[in-house]
Amino acid sequence: MSGESDIPFVEETGHEEPDETSGFREQPDFERLEASPTVDELFAPASDEPPFSRCVLTTSLHLSVAAESRTNRWTDWNGYTTPEILTTIDDEYRALRQAAALSDISPMVKYRISGRDAASYLDRLVADNVMRLSVDEVMPVVFCEDRGFVVGDGHLFRLGESEYRLVTEETHLAWLLDSALGFQVHVEDVGAALAALSLQGPHAAAVLNAAGFYDIETIRPYAARWFDLGGIPVYASRTGATGELGYELWVDPEDAPMLWARLFDKGAEFGLAATGYAVRELARIEAGIPRVGCDYLGAFAAVDLADASTPFELGLASLVDLESGHFTGRDALRRLKQREPRHLVVSMALDFPEPVQFCAVEREGAIDGTATSIGFSPALGLNLALARLRYRTGPVALSVEVDFREGLSVRRLKIPARLLTEAVIGSPMRHAVPAPLLAEF
Amino acid sequence: MERHDAIIIGGGLNGLTAAAYLARSGARVLLLERNAALGGADASYEIVPGFNISRYNLGASTLPARIVSELDLASHGLRFIRVDGGVSLLDGGGYIASYRDGAVHRRELARHSLKDADGWTRFRRDILRGAQQLRPLLAGPMSDPTRRSFSTLRRLLKTASRWGARDVGELHELTRLWTLPCADFLDDYFSSDAVKTRLAADALAGTSLGPRAPTGARHLLGAFIDETMGASGGAPARVLAIGGSSAIARALGAVIEAHGGTIRTEAEVTDVLLREGSARGVVLANGEEIQARAILSDLDLKRTFLALFPWSALPEGFVERVGRFSMRGLSAKINIALDSAPEFPAVPAGCPALLGGLRLATSLDEMDRASDDWRDGIPPRVPLIDMLIPTLADPSLAPHGRHVLSVAVHYVPETLHDGVWTGERRDELTDLVVARIAEASPGIRDRIVALETLTPPDIESEVGMTSGDLSHGETTLDQMFFNRPSPALSGYETPIRNLYLCSQSVHPGPLGIGHAGANAAALVAASLRRRG
């Protein structure tokens, strides 16, 4: 298309030919350099910026985490920049299983639920009995819609008599508010107002103790307590989805970098290392914990209803209490419990000495399910996977087909897989009270 | 006298698609277009030299991906770009945009209502479910379900078994989607008026329905037909052809000629030659007669039968039935050339969604009022105004630094209750719209180099669409699927042997431009093969 036009246009003035001095600047453009934002400004949260200006947000710990990154490998977790791997997956994994691993879990979704009816509201929302949760205790919860399909799962913290915190993987504000009709309850998204750190590993209690969390070892699993760290209030809970002794620390975003620095300062002698999302996923797969949006889809996100699951299909039956009071989906779950599940989310192991990728899971030669999370456990030398398999009774002979590449050649292998009935890794220390302050191994 | 295997009357996208498929199957085809440019309602023109703009449609038409790949339009130069879904201005100075990126789109919705960001997840699920169920119906031909044939029976059984395997709740949801008014359906998911108005206007632009008119919610499916489950979870992308919609027509023309077909523009067909109730050829305006074994009409139903045939040659009662097919002008088009980029102070600089279009401020109530005005035959006092600045995404359409502004004005009636569209009334409409644009973009008046307004009667007289109806017949529920245009005609065949319809007047109509052409071509190709 020609750039010529027959219409006479008035050219704007000010578009003069650049003179030689401005065309070949020898001095750097200091004004421009000074006008460009500093690193701190670049990552400062700006509430008035339009959504398109940043596709991925950063947490308050971003600069602290970035300083630990030797790989510059990042990923997106719930719309936040999260390190995939900071050093090497082997080193990070070793820190998790042998020492202590610190990660920024601020991208988790957090809701504050308060008000006179908070307890009864939550009791109707989640499938378990919330009334037995005491202050400073935590329980894993699953919540369903009225047909019994899981909307999401997470952890419920009781912070006070009528104040709770629900921590989930996905956002559920619409569902929480819709369910709140008729209750005197206030639901608030505090995701951005609360930073969270996860400290996991056999030395976790020791690191915290050294950093000033006195009596941390007395916290029982799924319990929590407030600490005062030289003026920084930190809420520490003995939780974490790694099958390891571990804690999660909840703190004001402004204080989070200070806490991070203090933990590194005091934790260095215990081998504390910062870890990324890849190790978090690997630990989750080793522990056999399905993640919403990955191993199953929430009922409101599943376009195909077959992609949604009931708690029984996810192996979360222990989080469903059908006896002690009404909750959303109870009638449906009572019926579903009598029926065969449509599918099961299971853990599988593949005896193959190298990491492989696969998707279809076969039973007697026919595709029978989907591998939804895959990880290679360096400790066990095994490929592990979470998979959604069609429910069948009787003997199981599972296999997967793998395109195994060596150099530029590829072999198609059929590898037998076996079902795992319990988590392959689970440190006995994770139940110990008091938690060991000095590891004896 | 010339002889061809098939003559296609009308060079719109469906006609061109039909001709391309037929040419590819080895038939000798001749495509006849009345105007100088191919594309029908998607034709573009130079409003001033160097400024290319889609003359009748907004300029964002596409073809189904299957047709693009089967006809290999890429190797004939066709390229697409995907951009965000567009921006709506709000009364009082704000804006709401549609982004393809799921996280960004949710944050945009959260700016208007925190809750609506989650409402989007469930809304998208239900609309994608509806779209999945609709998609297989669009691509294939549709025939009278009461016809006793093996294939209809098989299709009914297949549909029944598909539904038998589904959850009952899904059927309930689907019923809601196909019967509820748009606003009521959206109330179930969203609380922000800005969000609801944006989605309702996306759905209803170009229809006669207001947001509170029954059965409007199904129009929400339109934008999601090509959306897949794997997408990132944001709003559907707007797909633009580089070079404008007419580039699609040009690429289809290139396919036809590459397979030995012939295209003649400025060749108006005035009559179809009949012998013993069977179409044998066409007569051009200059008296020339051309024979062919099959005739495909890309004209709308009314123009095909009421203009090309002596009414006495048509079966008993047929002329009346065709006359009752509802075709109504719904939109006017204003084409503007600008000497510099327009500014929209309400939209933050660099907003990528602006590439997908800009809608001037409206509300559910205003849309309702505009729809009422349309029904009353009054030029809308508060019209729904959709704009596209195609030069933002595709600068090749105008000289460097200049822009074209494509404006679709909706709820514009074809017939006025107190007379006809005169030049004066057209100017009144233009002034109203330009004043509204100038509110959103101060200084735009000084940037206008050229401007042209086309009312529905203008569109009818230039492209020939009856009443200026760009969708070849209203998309009310009674004129969809096997009822488009009627059960007997839905299968592309007509009472006249060897005459086929391939325009938007037949299934799936404007829901998938190109499908009718492709399906009719398959039918004709099979028939030509049978007859040897």
Residue A382: what are its φ and ψ, rounded to 5°? -125, 150
In this prediction, residue B170 carries a pLDDT of 78
Give residue-wise pLDDT tens across range A320-371.
999 988 999 999 999 999 999 999 999 999 988 899 999 999 998 899 999 9
Give residue-wise pLDDT tens across range A270-312.
999 999 999 999 999 999 999 999 999 999 999 988 899 999 9
In this prediction, residue B157 carries a pLDDT of 79
Q: Is A171 on the interface with B (CB under 8 A)?
A: yes
Exposure of B513 in the CB half-sphere (CA atoms within 13 A): 23
Structural domain boundaries, residue B22: 2-41+64-76+243-326+472-531
Measured between alpha carbons, how far is A290 from A302 in angstroms, rounded to an integer? Answer: 16
- Please give the structure tokens belonging to residue A153: 């799962």
Place of tokens 């999401």: A152
Both B127 and B33 in one domain: the answer is no
**Between residues 46 and 75 of chain A, which touch chain B (CB distance below 8 Å)?**
50-53, 55-56
Nearest Cα neighbor of B253 from B18, B500, B6 is B18
* Option in B50, B119, B166 nearest A5 (CB): B50
In this structure, the strands spanning A186-189 and A109-114 are: antiparallel
Judged by CB atoms closer than 8 Å, whether chains meet at A173 and B115 is answered as yes
Higher pLDDT, A47 or A374: A374
Q: Tell me which DSSP letter residue B35 carries.
A: S
Omega before A51 within 30 of 0, i.e. cis: no
Both B137 and B197 in one domain: the answer is yes
Q: Is A175 on the interface with B (CB under 8 A)?
A: yes
Among A107-111, A173-177, A432-436, B351-355, whose mean pLDDT is lowest?
A: A432-436
In this structure, the strands spanning A100-104 and A195-200 are: antiparallel
Both B198 and B254 in one domain: the answer is no
Measured between alpha carbons, how far is B456 from B453 in angstroms, rounded to an integer? Answer: 10
In this predicted structure, the answer to whether residue A431 has a pLDDT above a threshold of 50 is: yes
Measured between alpha carbons, how far is B102 from A55 in angstroms, rounded to an integer? Answer: 9
Strands (E), B307-350: 331-338
In this predicted structure, the answer to whether residue A29 has a pLDDT above a threshold of 80 is: no
Both B248 and B284 in one domain: the answer is yes
Residue A192 class from Cβ within 10 Å (0-12 exposed, 13-18 middle, 19+ buried)? middle
Nearest Cα neighbor of A103 from A80, A130, A137 is A80
In this predicted structure, the answer to whether residue A39 has a pLDDT above a threshold of 80 is: no
Nearest Cα neighbor of A112 from A199, A219, A192, A198 is A192
Both B68 and B127 in one domain: the answer is no
> What length does chain A have?
441
Instruction: Give the relative orientation of helices B13-24 and B515-531 as an angle to the nearest 10 degrees.
Output: 40
Mark which of B195, B230, B265 sits at the end of a domain: B230
Which CATH number is B268's domain given?
A: 3.50.50.60
Q: Is A6 on the interface with B (CB under 8 A)?
A: yes
Q: Tell me which DSSP letter residue B93 carries.
A: S
ipTM over cut 0.90: no
Both B315 and B284 in one domain: the answer is yes
In this structure, the strands spanning B499-501 and B289-297 are: parallel
Both B252 and B195 in one domain: the answer is no
- Among B109, B114, B170, the strongest candidate for a mutation testing the A interface, having the largest count of A CBs within 10 A, is B114
Measured between alpha carbons, how far is B336 from B375 in angstroms, rounded to an integer? Answer: 28
Q: What is the CA radius of gyration of chain B?
A: 23
Measured between alpha carbons, how far is A258 from A253 in angstroms, rounded to an integer? Answer: 10
In this predicted structure, the answer to whether residue A15 has a pLDDT above a threshold of 90 is: no
Residues of B in contact with A6 (CB under 8 A): 48-50
Buried b (16+ CB within 10 A) or exposed e, A137-149: ebbbbbbbbebbb
Q: Could you tell me the pLDDT band of residue A249, with boundaries at 50, 70 and 90?
A: very high
Nearest Cα neighbor of A273 from A107, A87, A429, A58 is A87
Low-confidence residues of chain B, pLDDT below 50? none
* Amino acid at position B10, single letter: G
Residues of A in contact with B99 (CB under 8 A): 51-52
* Amino acid at position B88, single letter: S
Q: Is B397 on the interface with A (CB under 8 A)?
A: yes
B370 in a structural domain: no
Judged by CB atoms closer than 8 Å, whether chains meet at A5 and B402 is answered as yes
Q: Could you tell me the pLDDT band of residue A37, with boundaries at 50, 70 and 90?
A: low
- Among B45, B83, B121, B134, the strongest candidate for a mutation testing the A interface, having the largest count of A CBs within 10 A, is B121
In this prediction, residue A1 carries a pLDDT of 43
Judged by CB atoms closer than 8 Å, whether chains meet at A51 and B104 is answered as yes
Beta bridge partners of A360: A370
Both B223 and B138 in one domain: the answer is yes
| Cβ-contact A428, A357 below 8 angstroms | no
Both B249 and B184 in one domain: the answer is no
B301 in a structural domain: yes
- Please give the structure tokens belonging to residue B356: 């997908």
Both B190 and B255 in one domain: the answer is no
Domains and CATH numbers, chain A: 62-107+193-275 (3.30.1360.120), 109-189 (3.30.70.1400), 342-425 (2.40.30.110)
Distance (Å) of CA B85 to CA B198, B234, B512: 11, 10, 18
Q: Is B190 on the interface with A (CB under 8 A)?
A: no
* Amino acid at position B57, single letter: N
B200 in a structural domain: yes
Both B132 and B179 in one domain: the answer is yes
Mark which of B182, B201, B230 sits at the end of a domain: B230
Higher pLDDT, A39 or B344: B344
Both B70 and B148 in one domain: the answer is no
Q: Could you tell me the pLDDT band of residue A13, with boundaries at 50, 70 and 90?
A: very low
Nearest Cα neighbor of A144 from A257, A313, A261, A3 is A313
DSSP state string for A210-278: HTT-TTGGGPPTTBEEEEEETTEEEEEES--TTSSSEEEEEE-TTTHHHHHHHHHHHHGGGTEEE--HH
* Amino acid at position B168, single letter: V
Number of domains in chain B: 2
Nearest Cα neighbor of B506 from B524, B494, B496, B495 is B494
| Cβ-contact A118, A102 below 8 angstroms | no
Closest Cα in chain A to B125: A303
Residues of A in contact with B399 (CB under 8 A): 2-5
* Option in A3, A52, A177 nearest B351 (CB): A52
